Structure 1
Amino acid sequence: MITIPITAELLRGALDLEQTGRGLLPHRLPAWARAQYDDGQLEMVESQPSGVRLVFSTAATTIELDTLPTKRDYTGAPPRPDGVYDVLVDGRLFAQLTATGGDVITIDLMSGATDTKPGTAQTLRITGLPGVPKPVEIWLPHDETTELVALRSDAPIAPIPSGRRVWLHHGSSISHGSNATHPTGTWPALAATQAGVDLINLGFGGSALLQPFIARTIRDTPADLISLKLGINVVNADGLRLRTFTPAVHGFLDTIRDGHPHTPLLVISPILCPIHEATPGPTGWDLSALADGELRFVAAGNPEEIPAGKLTLSIIRAELDRIIQRRADPNLHYLDGRSLYGDADNAAHPLPDDLHPDADTHALLADRFTSLAFESKGPFSG
C-alpha cells in the first residue's frame, strides 16, 4: 500500500484544513472567520464536513482511509447512528462505510453541559474497485466531525480538475442535512448531482444568523452560483426583530456583492414549518417528548409580541420578497421556500421532529430545487 499525502487538492467542499495533533480537520469556515465567534454550536457544525469529499483518479483496487470521528451522545435521547461515508466510482454509489469509536461528546440538552471522552482512529477499507483509471469520491459524514489521519492505496492517486460550475449554498440545519441518512442524500448534495455542479455547502445547523463573517467568507470564495436560505434560524434563536432583520439582510447581500457583483444570487425563504408560521421564536425542546426519549421542538414565543417586531416565518417571507424587489438587481432572485415544501407536502410528509424533514423529503426538496433553479428559465439555468 502507498501512503498518499492528504492535501487541499484532493478535497472539495472544505475552505480550510487544520493540522491537529492527530490528523487534518476539514473546516467549512476559514480560520480568520472562526476567530470571530465564540459559539459552541457553530464551532461544532462548521467542523462537520457536510458536502466535503475526497476526489481523485486512481487505478487502485483497494483504498484505506484512517479517520477519527467525533460522535455525539444526547442524554436521555436515543443513540445517534454512526456517520456514513459514501464512496462513489464514476459518479455512482459503490459502497457505504461507517467508522465506530473515535471521540464521544455527551451533551445534556437541559443544562447544555458537555463531556468529551477521547477515542482512537478507525480504518475504513474499500476493496473490489475496478483496476482501471477511474474517478473516486469519498464523501465524509455530513453530521459527524471527522479528522483525516491517513490515506493509503495500492496504486497512485492524482487530483482531478473539476471543470464544472461551482454552486455555493448557505443555509440552516436543513441545508446542513439534518435527518438525511448519508452525505450524498442531503438535499443540496442531491441537487448538485442532478444539476452537474460542484457543491460548497455552507449550511450550518442552528447557525444561519446573518453573521457578517459568513457573508465575507462567501464574498471571498470563488463561485459561479450562490444561494442563501435565510430566516428559520433567526426565528429559532429569536435573534432579531423586524427593525434589525431588514438591514441585516441588506448588509449580508451588500457584502457578498462586493466580491460577486454579477454572480447569480438566489435568496430562498424558509420552507413550511407549522410551529413557527404564526408563532415567533425562540424554539425550545418539547420536554414531554424528551421524557419519552424523542427529540421534538416547540415554538416558545408569544404571538402577542408580533406588533413589537417579533418575527415569524410568514413575516420573514414577505420581508425577503420585499427586499429582493426593492434592490432591483437583475441577477438577484427570490424563491418562496414553500414551493419546495408547503402545506400539501406537510400533510403527506410531516416533519418528524416538527422542524426538520426526513430523508425522503430531502429528495423531494432536491427535485423541486433542481427544477426551479437549474432547469427551464431558473436563475441557475445558464
Structure 2
Amino acid sequence: MSTEHPWVTPVTADLLRGFVDVEATARGLLPHRLTAQARRQIPDNQLAMAEAQPSGVRLAFRTRATMIELDTVPTKRVYQGFPPPPDGVYDLLVDGRLTAQATVGGGNVWTVTDMFTKTAVLAEGPPGTARFADLPAGEKDIEIWLPHTEITELIALRTDAPVEQALGSGRRTWLHHGSSISHGSNATHPSATWPALAAAEGDVELVNLGFGGSALLDPFTARAMRDITADLISLKIGINIVNSDVMRLRAFTPAVHGFLDTIREGHPTTPLLVVSAILCPVQEDTPGPLVPASDGGTLRFTATGDPAERTAGRLTLNVIRDELARIVHQRATDDPNLHYLDGRDLYGEADYAEFPLPDEVHPDPAGHRRIAENFARLAFGDGGPFAAKTG
C-alpha cells in the first residue's frame, strides 16, 4: 500500500453481514452459510463447497479511507476438461452504490474430475489481495461483497484511514433458500445475483442460502433456517429435486411439509413465501436426472428421464409446481402468513424468448436482472407478501 502508515484491521464477525457462521482458520476467518451442526451432516462435496462460497456475504464498515486492501485466500473451482472460469469478483459499494471492483488471483483450486460423482482434488496456493484505490473522500459506508463463486478465507483489511463498525441499517432481514440460480450461477459479480438485486430493490438485508445443486429439502438446512433471525423468508423449491432425481412424489410431499414445519418452529408468524422453479424447458415435463455435456466447449444440460413415468411418481417441474400450490393452499387455511409464487411469474416464456438460458438451466446476467425485477415487484411491491407495513 502506498500510504506510509496504513491501518490494519483483523477481519472479525463484527465486520460481516449475510453470513450464518464463521470458522477460525490458521490464517484468518472463513464465512459459512450453514451452521456448524448442519455442516457436520452434509453428505457430499457439492454442498460442502457451495455453502462455503459466500454468496451474499459482505464486509460492512464506516471509514474515510480512499484506499482499501483486503487480503484473502480464494478457493476456486474448475471442471476437468472445461476452460477455467474467470477469477471471482469483489464488489465495493460506497453508500449502497457499486463504486469499484477487484479480483484475487492464485489461491487454492478444487478441480472437479467427475461431474457425476462430484469427485474433486484440491491444490493449495498462496493468498492474494483485492485492492481498491481512489475512493471518494469523506466519511462513508463501505460494503465489500465477496465473490459468490469462490470460497474466501479472510485474512486482514488494510486502509489509509481508521475503520469503524457499521451501524445497524434498521432494514428488515430477508432469509432466502434456493438452488444454483439463487446462489448466482452466471451472474458476473456478487451484487448482481438476482437475490442481491432484489434485496436492494426491497431495501432489506439479505441472507442468501442459495446452494448450487443442493436445494434438496435437507432437514439440516431447515433447522438452520429455523434458528436464523429473519423478518422475511422465502424458499425456492423444485429444480434441484428434479434434475438430481432424488425422490418421487410420495416422498416429496411430506418432505415439503416437514421443511415448512421445521421453519415454523422458529418463525411461527414470519411471512413465508414458497416459490416454484422458473421456466426451464428441458425439465418442464421431462424427469431427471440432468446430464451435463460439452457443446463446442460450452457446458449444456439435457434431461434424461422418461415423461411417461410421471404417472408412477417421477417428478418434473410442472408436477412440483402443482403440488407446491396445493400444499401451500392447504396449509394457508391455518397459516395466513404462508404464500405461494409460481416461478414462471419471475421468468416465463416471454422472458425465455428474450433472454434464453445459455446452458438450458441457468439464466444469464440479464435473466438475473429480470428475475430480480419481477421478484421485487411481486414480493416487495404493494400488496406483496413482503411489502413494508405502514402506520
Q: TM-score, normalised by structure 2?
A: 0.95
CA positional deviation for 1:63:
1.4
- Give the match for residue 312 of structure 1: 316
Q: Percent identity?
A: 63
RMSD of aligned residue pairs (Cα, Å):
1.1
- Give the match for residue 28 of structure 1: 33
Which structure 1 segments of 5+ residues have no match? none
Which structure 2 segments of 5+ residues have no match? 1-5
Paired with 1:295 and 1:324, the residues of 2 have a C-alpha distance of 35
Say which SS state the counterpart of residue 81 (structure 1) adopts: coil
- Give the match for residue 227 of structure 1: 234
Q: 1:352 aligns with which of 354, 358, 364?
A: 358
Q: 1:129 aligns with which of 128, 135, 147?
A: 135
CA positional deviation for 1:103:
0.8
Q: 1:266 aligns with which of 273, 287, 302?
A: 273
Say which SS state the counterpart of residue 295 (structure 1) adopts: strand
- Give the match for residue 372 of structure 1: 378
Moved more, 338-347 or 261-270: 338-347
CA positional deviation for 1:79:
2.0
Paired with 1:336 and 1:73, the residues of 2 have a C-alpha distance of 33
CA positional deviation for 1:72:
1.7
Is residue 298 of structure 2 the alignment partner of residue 294 of structure 1?
yes
The CA deviation string for residues 122-164 of structure 1, in whole angstroms up to 9 with x for no partner, is: 0122221233211000000011111101111122211121211
Tell me if the contact between 1:166 and 1:197 (Cα under 8 Å) persists in the aligned partners: yes
- Which residue identity lines up with residue 158 of structure 1 in the other structure? E
Tell me if the contact between 1:51 and 1:199 (Cα under 8 Å) persists in the aligned partners: yes
Is residue 342 of structure 2 the alignment partner of residue 336 of structure 1?
yes
Say which SS state the counterpart of residue 298 (structure 2) adopts: coil
Paired with 1:314 and 1:226, the residues of 2 have a C-alpha distance of 23
> Kindly tell me: are residues 112 and 32 of structure 1, through their superposed partners in 2, closer, same or farther at Cα, counting changes over 3 Å?
closer
- Which residue identity lines up with residue 154 of structure 1 in the other structure? D
Tell me if the contact between 1:78 and 1:294 (Cα under 8 Å) persists in the aligned partners: no
- Give the match for residue 281 of structure 1: 288
The CA deviation string for residues 271-291 of structure 1, in whole angstroms up to 9 with x for no partner, is: 00000101001111135x2xx
**Count of residue pairs the alignment pairs up:** 379
Say which SS state the counterpart of residue 296 (structure 1) adopts: strand
- Which residue identity lines up with residue 237 of structure 1 in the other structure? S
Say which SS state the counterpart of residue 48 (structure 2) adopts: helix
Q: 2:156 aligns with which of 150, 159, 167?
A: 150
- Which residue identity lines up with residue 315 of structure 2 in the other structure? L
- Give the match for residue 5 of structure 1: 10
Q: TM-score, normalised by structure 1?
A: 0.97
Say which SS state the counterpart of residue 254 (structure 1) adopts: helix
- Give the match for residue 39 of structure 1: 44
Say which SS state the counterpart of residue 362 (structure 2) adopts: coil
CA positional deviation for 1:39:
1.0
- Which residue identity lines up with residue 4 of structure 1 in the other structure? T
CA positional deviation for 1:112:
4.2
Tell me if the contact between 2:10 and 2:155 (Cα under 8 Å) persists in the aligned partners: no
Say which SS state the counterpart of residue 286 (structure 1) adopts: strand
Paired with 1:339 and 1:135, the residues of 2 have a C-alpha distance of 35
Tell me if the contact between 1:279 and 1:301 (Cα under 8 Å) persists in the aligned partners: yes
Paired with 1:363 and 1:356, the residues of 2 have a C-alpha distance of 13
Say which SS state the counterpart of residue 95 (structure 1) adopts: strand
Paired with 2:101 and 2:82, the residues of 1 have a C-alpha distance of 25
- Give the match for residue 368 of structure 2: 362
Paired with 1:277 and 1:109, the residues of 2 have a C-alpha distance of 26
- Give the match for residue 124 of structure 2: 118
> Kindly tell me: are residues 147 and 211 of structure 1, through their superposed partners in 2, closer, same or farther at Cα, counting changes over 3 Å?
same
Paired with 2:182 and 2:326, the residues of 1 have a C-alpha distance of 23
